[in-house]
Amino acid sequence: MSSLGLGTETWTRGTDSHEAAAIARAFRDGGGSLFDVAAHAAPLAAKILHREDIVSIASGVNPSAPFGQRVDCSRRNLIAQLDGMLTALGRDHIDLWTVGYWDANTPAFEVADTLEHMVRQGKVRYAGVRGYQGWQLALTHRRDVVAAITPYNLLHRHPETDLFPAAEYLGVGIIAGAPLAQGVLSGRHDLSTLQREHPQRYAQAHGLSSGSEAVVQALKTAAEGLGISMAAAALAWVRHQPGVASVLATPRTAEQCDELLEAQTVTLPRAIVKALDDVTL
């Protein structure tokens, strides 16, 4: 599995088929192999992905369902969604199958048994979880649960105190999502304007605190000093954090993909890492 994974959330939702194909091509050319396929992007992904590509998908969440019914990690629903994705992708197995959300209405042992059963059947090579806390991972953990996917970036370091220690103890690898905090750490957004014009969206989408502007400014200063983009600096920081096996990024264009691939060759100096720690811890 490559140290950088490619998210497909924007495919067919702002990124058309031609651009998606260009992104996939640039990603492979840069050494990438892990594709995280969103349910709505599966038909397009089936046309673009190669048989040797590593594919990750999530089950248990249906964004189109009525509010309050979107999370269903019951055995019946997980298997139905997995079978549907296999059909849509034209594959006989998924490399990494993850439970998309913690479901308080489904016992953890039922989720764990379902993951294990699908691995035994050969429909899944490895299993994982998404958005779990440490104790939730511990309750669901089995031998074939090898990965935990979680949002993790300079503006969201909470997993370090909970999920990361649990994953290390259980021998589970961390795949970090949202390394750019929905674009905030790319430097493309004017935070003051975003907060003033869309305060609710600003808070909900990014979970930003009163000190976020200082973090963004520190990252900008570091990136300028190194002669790289803010996006590359932010992603490089995540890549080199202890316990992180891979990072999932979702570029909208091939140019953005090239920018993120640049981070694979970047190692932040210790002084810069310490300076970023000073403003984020």
Residue 183, pLDDT score:
86
In a domain, 174, yes or no: yes
- Which contiguous run of DSSP H or E holds residue 116? helix 108-121
Query: Do the beta carbons of residue 234 and residue 260 sit within 8 Å?
Result: no
HSE-up (13 A, CA, CB side) for residue 54: 18
Is 213 inside a domain boundary? Answer: no
Where residue 55 sits, what CATH number does that domain have? 3.20.20.100
Q: Which domain holds residue 122?
A: 4-184+230-267
In a domain, 83, yes or no: yes
Q: Return the amino acid letter for 82.
A: L
CB 54 within 8 A of CB 1: yes
Q: Quote the number of domains for the chain.
A: 1
As a whole number of angstroms, the distance between CA 63 and CA 71 comes to: 8
Check: CB of residue 248 under 8 Å from CB of residue 5.
yes
pLDDT of residue 201: 54
Domain membership flag for residue 204: no
Rounded alpha-carbon distances, angstroms, from residue 49 to 43, 83, 157, 193, 194 = 10, 18, 32, 38, 36
Would 44 be classed as within a structural domain? Answer: yes
How far is it between the farthest Cα atoms of the chain?
53
Confirm whether 138 is domain-assigned.
yes
Residue 96, domain member (yes or no): yes
* Residue 34 domain-assigned (yes or no): yes
Mean pLDDT, consecutive 10-residue stretches, the chain (281 aa), reads: 93 96 96 95 96 94 75 96 96 96 96 97 97 97 96 95 97 96 81 59 54 88 95 95 95 94 92 94 85
Output the pLDDT for position 62.
81
pTM of the complete model: 0.91
